[in-house]
Chain A
Amino acid sequence: MNDLTQAPVRDPAYNFAYLDEQTKRMIRRALLKAVAIPGYQVPFGGREMPLPYGWGTGGMQLTAAILGADDVLKVIDQGADDTTNAVSIRRFFARTAGVATTESTPEASVIQTRHRIPETSLQADQIMVYQVPNPEPLRFIEPSETETRTMHALNDYGVMHVKLYEDIATFGHIATSYAYPVMVDERYVMDPSPIPKFDNPKLDMSPALMLFGAGREKRLYAVPPFTRVTSLDFEDHPFEVQKWQESCAICGSHESFLDELIIDDAGTQRFVCSDTWYCAQRVEQQENNQ
């Protein structure tokens, strides 16, 4: 897969990785605190980035702060390496930091992601950076910031189950399918960014470091390697991940997270892997085997 790794050319007009050194230092200090208190939201002085809020400004600031010259960067958007957001951010860091970029999961040392964790299991030396729109899991029920901070501080999380209760009362099962709240290290309730709940079990005891950045809300938080992350649930309605009857139309995978595509006006469906690199690599393997 080495051909996917592009040769970097750094634009000398920018400071390394766009942000100035003081800003990166400030973000690293906040990151150290976040890693020390797993799941705790650390405020940081979020900067303007050259793209709109909601496009991954939080994740990009964290990436900029942790990127070194010999890092290899992978960026995914909904699992795909080739969508506009992913391509733009990858090119942004290739230009401003001159780092190597890749689409291969095992080759990457830093993976910035929007809404997915790669299917291929992560390794101990990798860092995942999540783009988070709304870092506060209690916000839906408690609009006051002062109050939510107190609730986190006092471990007062009874209301989290109110949301799950409402789901069961309305739909008969827990219908929350993304941004599914988790308890980190039996202390802080955390919003794992809008990853599908399919990916929640991958957070638990992961060997990789997980960093979460919310640019608009100016918060960051972290899950250090090998930290217990449990999804909230009820005794008689335990946590479950999505399952599909179908398998991927391209690579035939039964295990991966599938996207539903409507391919004609008659509503014909096709299901394909959301993780494009995983899918492409499986197809290549199958061709080699033949």
Chain B
Amino acid sequence: MNPSLIKEQPMSVPVEPLLQVRDLTLLYGLEKGCQGVSFDLYPGEVLGIVGESGSGKSTLLSLLSGRLPPQRGSIGYRGKDGEWLDLYSASEAERRTLLRTEWGFVEQNPRDGLRMGVSAGANIGERLMAQGVRNYKELRGAGLDWLSQVEIDPLRIDDLPRTFSGGMQQRLQIARNLVSSPRLVFMDEPTGGLDVSVQARLLDLLRGLVRELDLAVVIVTHDLAVARLLADRLMVMRRSHVVETGLTDQILDDPQHPYSQLLVSSVLQP
């Protein structure tokens, strides 16, 4: 496993984080939601968030991706131009622009993240069109290119996503998000609901793309195998608190917190 990429940088060039999260809190009730979450995410780093159902993983992801304003705390994002942007004091227009250009969001259910009524090519091209690309040939080229990158037959560019299998839909959703070359992608259980062999292929593809494009990723999962394959660093959540953070291998091989130990030991070994 590759421990976070900062270690590989020469010491003379200090790398600034991409995302700075401080004391992020949103509670729906006592220990429901998430509270007091702070971390830094560096460019090219994959952060996994693991924990049981109801531990606040998805709430945290919604807060991070600008979909749900927090009750307390702040999120700073360093844009392409190096300027820091405070996510929730920025205007909604700025947040939206961010979400469809420098960020991506891969939903657990591809039907939530895709436009089911328009073709695969249009799904991939939408972000480019929103950014002002007005050249059909260019959009078409990007569509074909990305379909082959996510291992979908380019001949299916004009087919509707509903004619695709679940795994293909998920890969299409990933292509749709990556077409605008984002720097940061949020994923909510991207392999949930897929069968094991399809999961393995998707993970393989994701791992390749993440390394190749130098993406920073925040991935929520309850599957420790997914976390081990993709994540550089893990955050273990339980009852709205982050109970343990550290390098993936460190947490999975030598968990310190009793809950992490329980989580790791409860994985079924085939």
Contact = CB atoms under 8 A, between A and B. Distances in A.
A180 to B, nearest CB: 16
A141 B115 CA distance: 8
A154 B93 contact: yes
B118 A162 contact: yes
A226 interface: no
A170 B134 contact: no
Interface of A: 141, 150, 154-159, 161-163, 165-166, 168-170, 233-237
Contact of B158 (A150, A163, A170): A170
A158 B92 contact: no
Given A154-B93, A156-B96, A158-B127, A169 B119 contact: yes
Contact of A162 (B96, B100, B125, B158): B125
Contacts, number: 60
A141 B135 CA distance: 21
A237 B126 CA distance: 17
Nearest to A161: B129
Contact of A150 (B92, B118, B140): B92
Nearest to B137: A236
B117 A141 contact: yes
Interface residues of B, number: 24
A166 B119 contact: yes
Contacts of A150: 92
A158 B129 contact: yes
B139 interface: yes
Given A162-B125, A165-B139, A169-B121, 13 more contacts: A154-B92, A156-B96, A158-B127, A158-B129, A158-B130, A165-B118, A165-B129, A166-B119, A169-B122, A169-B157, A170-B158, A236-B136, A237-B136
Interface string B104-122: 0000000000010111011
13 contacts: A141-B118, A154-B96, A158-B127, A158-B130, A159-B130, A162-B118, A162-B125, A162-B126, A165-B125, A170-B119, A233-B134, A234-B134, A235-B136
A81 to B, nearest CB: 39
